[in-house]
């Protein structure tokens, strides 16, 4: 049995955010591509892409938070996080993270945004960067869960909780 530590629960919180991004990414990839740029923004593909980028940005915000130091330690003890850290530094330096924040704000703060403002289109042409970020996090989580599984954390019951099991 393992204990519900703050660090482990923070790790699970990061993974939960990643799963939200994964859900949007999967739906985005299955939606048809619309070639007209303006129509694309109103299409399922365009909407899922904005939601995917929104959750990626929320993941980066959480990853960068001092409250997630323990969660990052769990991951970095099992996986390389150098790609993640490099991509975040690169995105800060060249403004791509600022544009991702703009998309998050557009998606989640409609009370403060216009229907057609920069947040709707700010990240156009940055799909390669977003894919690199997504896959860097994916690799880190997969490597971490593989280690946790080998250490018998996955599938074990929480201490003091006889009904719930941890699952990946």
In this prediction the pTM is: 0.84
Instruction: Return mean pLDDT, the chain.
Output: 86
Predicted confidence at residue 30, as pLDDT, reads 97
Q: Considering only 33-42, 52-61, 126-135, 157-166, which range has the smallest mean pLDDT?
A: 157-166
The token pair that represents 34 in the structure block: 């619309």
First to last CA, the chain: 16
Domain boundaries, the chain: 6-150
Sign of CA dihedral 65, 71, 75, 77: positive
Angstrom distance (rounded) from CA 139 to CA 147: 12
Choose among 85, 91, 81, 77: nearest CA to 130.
91
SS3 content of the chain, % helix, strand, coil (to 5): 70, 0, 25
With beta carbons less than 8 A apart as the criterion, state whether 100 and 60 touch: yes
- pLDDT for 168 beyond 80: no
Kindly report, residue by residue over 137-162, the tens digit of the pLDDT.
999 999 999 988 777 655 555 454 44
């Amino acid at each position: 049995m393992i204990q519900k530590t703050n660090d482990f629960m923070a790790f699970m919180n990061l993974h939960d955010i990643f799963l939200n991004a994964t859900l949007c990414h999967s739906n985005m990839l299955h939606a048809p591509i619309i070639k007209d740029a303006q129509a694309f923004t109103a299409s399922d593909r365009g909407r899922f892409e904005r939601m995917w980028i929104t959750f990626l940005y929320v993941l980066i915000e959480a990853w960068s938070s001092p409250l997630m130091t323990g969660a990052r330690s769990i991951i970095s003890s099992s996986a390389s996080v150098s790609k993640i850290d490099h991509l975040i530094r690169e995105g800060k330096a060249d403004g791509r993270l600022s544009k991702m924040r703009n998309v998050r704000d557009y998606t989640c703060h409609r009370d403060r945004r216009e229907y057609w403002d920069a947040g709707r289109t700010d990240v156009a042409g940055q799909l390669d960067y977003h894919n690199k970020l997504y896959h860097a996090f994916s690799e880190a989580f997969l490597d971490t869960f593989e280690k946790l599984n080998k250490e018998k954390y996955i599938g074990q019951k929480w201490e003091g909780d006889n009904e719930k099991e941890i699952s990946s």
